[in-house]
Structure formats: structure tokens, C-alpha cells
Amino acid sequence: MSETAHGVLAGLDEIRDLGADPVRGGYSRHLWSTAELGLREWFVERATRLGLGIDRDRNGNLWAWWGEPGADAVVTGSHLDSVPGGGAYDGPLGVVSALDAVARLKARGFTPHRPFAVIVFAEEEGSRFGVACLGSRLMVGSLDPAVAGALRDRDGVTLADAARYAGEDPELFGPDPAALGRIGLFIELHVEQGRGLVDLGSAVGVASGILAHGRWRLSFEGEGNHAGATPMIGRRDPMVAAAAAILAVREAALARPGTRATVGRLEAVPGGTNVIPSRVQLWLDARAETDAEAHELVATIAARASASAFVEESWSSSVEFDASLRDRFAAGLGGVPVLSTGAGHDAGVLAAHVPSAMLFVRNPSGVSHAPGEFAELADCVAGTDALESLLVSVL
């Protein structure tokens, strides 16, 4: 059984103070921030204690190898970064469970017959630089390294400068056929970000696919002015246009069952309470079962939004995970449910290049990307049980 502490997996307990957000609640663990660097240090220390060898690829992803790195490797893991004010499980559960599975296998004297590694991907959430699954996208070559290096966070720091601060070399960013070529199979365990397993009465499940999804930045221009001295008639207030666009986002998604569209971030310039803004930017997250449905949804929003600029920042096509792996793993775990997800993952990026699969652990409330995200200890243990079983079957 996995080591436990204070009602959670011991690994989660060990990192519970890193990145705790006193303002938002939950955790804010952004790429190469003090908190995220501390999580990386924790991962290296824990993996080293297990006798794993640490490697770092050209795109900021961390690898912990059991034995020598090699081709046709089985790789498992997830990410350690979070959204602003996120939960304790999204990302870290997959990393902690992977290390726990290794500890169990070593304790029982298991010897892998294939190369094996646990990986931590960089910037899965895209919370600092706006592009989700940045580390895996760079690895597979779906993101231009020059574009990536020039990305800026809210403080104006570029990804390249942040990388240098963290001891990475941004000149090395880009497609990594050597690292990608070693992966023969990727398995990602993740807390479910929805109520599917609750409704199906199962502690764990296997992913069938991921909805198409992307992010867009909308800009609205106006005339900055004094909030008290400027009459209501004649104002050029971009916040009003932005508000109308937000309502259009909701209406467009409600008109298309199964689609999802969200505005979760808005920035006004200059941002004073007593100032009519001169510019407002908001960010749209849109998702749908198919690429066509997602594009149609976004096109409708763009037509209604009256934005001065409507810029795509990231896009991920819908994903169908390897059917043979999906069916084999679901059957091997006793016929657990197979279900799709609306949340993006590094496994979805890798799926177009290597056989990939996902395990979900039940989330009793369905809440995720928020402080209330949770998974029962017994379900987390069941997830580690399932991951260990799958690793034995493929190693």
C-alpha cells in the first residue's frame, strides 16, 4: 500500500506548503517560480532516494530513469505546475503516484525488462506564459521555439529569460527527437476533472480521448478618461464592449450543446478604479467534442465580439487515445469505465507521436482548477494500485 500521511499520500503531504496561495487559496505554482523550482527539487530528491537517475532534456522537462535510458521506454508521470489558486491534485497526484509505484515495485524486487522513466513536464497549465503543455509541445515540435522563447508573463518576463534564471538554456528549446524517440509508451495518471467516475461508481477509469480546445486573446480599444469628469454619453469605454463579448461567449456555448466557452481572465489598462480604461484584453477558453465544432463556436464568438483583435494563442485538436491500449488497460483493471475528458494533458500532445494512455482517479465533487479540488485517500491508493498493475504488465 502507498505510504500515507495525514489522510493523503505522503508525497502530497511533503509538498503541501510549496506554492500555497494566501490570497486565492489553493496553490499557485507557475513554471520556474520559487514554488515550482522547489517542487522540482523535491522531485529530484525523492527520485534519487529511490535510486533513479536524473536527466533534464532541452525543453525543461525532468526525467528520472530506473536504470539506463534507452529506446522503447515505458514512461509515466505528469506535471507539478498549477493554475493560479489551483488544487493540490492536478498534476502532482500523477507524479507522486508514479514515484509510489516505483517504490512498491522496488520493494517487491521487480526488475523492468524495458527502459523506464518518470517524467515531470514543464508548464502544462500554461499559467505563466499562456501556452498549455509547453514542454511537451516543444519536444514534439508543434511549437516554434523562437515563438516560445519570446512569450511573456504578466510581469513582462520572457520565457527565455525565465529559463536562464532557472539554469536552462533557451537556445536549446525545440524539437527533441532523441527524447521523444526513447518513449515507446506513455501513461499519465491524473485526478479526474469532472464527475464522470462519481456517476459511474468507480475509483479509477481509463481515458478514451480529449476534447478539442484552445485559447484566444481578445482586445478592445477605447479612450481612457476620468471616471467622474466624463459624462456617460459620448464615452468610448472598452470595458462595455468586453462585457458584451463575455455575454456573447456564454450565449454561443449554450446554443451548442456539449461545447464549453469560458472567460477566466480580463485585464484593463491602466487598471484604476476611477479610470475609464483605454484598452481591455480578455482571454477565451473554448472546447468541443470535435475540431469543427470548436472552430464553429469560436467563429461565432468572433463575429459577435466586436474585438479590435482576436488572436489564437494555442490550439489542441481533439485526441483519441490508442484504442488497443485503452481496451487492454481497461480490461486488465477489471473492466473499469472508459471516458473522455474536456481537460488538456501532456498525454494528449504525445498521443499523435507515441502510444499513450491515461488513468483517472475519482474526484468526489468534480471540482478542479480550484482550491476545493480533492480525491479520497482510498481512491488515490486505488490509482497507484492500477498504475503499478499496468506498469508490471508492460515492463
Q: What is the mean predicted confidence (pLDDT) over 125-152?
A: 96
Report d(CA 362, CA 205) in Å as an integer: 8
Q: Write down the pLDDT at residue 39.
A: 98
Report d(CA 232, CA 235) in Å as an integer: 6
* Model confidence at 13: pLDDT above 60: yes
Flag the least confident range among 4-8, 115-119, 237-241: 4-8
Tens-place pLDDT, residues 304-316? 999 999 999 999 9
Q: What is the mean predicted confidence (pLDDT) over 73-92?
A: 97
Residue 326's H or E segment, with its range, is helix 323-332
Q: Which pLDDT band, with edges at 50, 70 and 90, does 3 fall under?
A: confident
| Nearest Cα residue to 265 out of 278, 255, 280 | 280
The answer to whether 333 touches 386, Cβ cutoff 8 Å, is: yes
Tens-place pLDDT, residues 347-379? 999 999 999 999 999 999 999 999 999 999 999
**224-249: b (≥16 Cβ within 10 Å) or e:** bbeeeebeeeeeebbbebbeebbebb
Q: What is the mean predicted confidence (pLDDT) over 164-174?
A: 96
Q: Write down the pLDDT at residue 2.
A: 52
Q: Which pLDDT band, with edges at 50, 70 and 90, does 335 fall under?
A: very high
What residues have CB less than 8 Å from 181, skipping those under 6 apart?
71
Q: Write down the pLDDT at residue 388.
A: 98
Q: Write down the pLDDT at residue 320.
A: 96
* Model confidence at 206: pLDDT above 50: yes
Q: Write down the pLDDT at residue 99.
A: 98
| Nearest Cα residue to 390 out of 183, 189, 184, 119 | 189
Tell me: cis bond preceding 270? Omega within 30 of 0 counts: yes
Q: What is the mean predicted confidence (pLDDT) over 103-122?
A: 97
Tens-place pLDDT, residues 218-269? 999 999 999 999 999 999 999 999 999 999 999 999 999 999 999 999 999 9
What residues have CB less than 8 Å from 194, skipping those under 6 apart?
341, 342, 343, 363, 366, 368
* Model confidence at 1: pLDDT above 70: no
Question: What 3-state class would DSSP assign to 360?
Answer: strand
Q: Percentages helix, strand, coil for the chain, rounded to the nearest 5?
A: 35, 25, 40
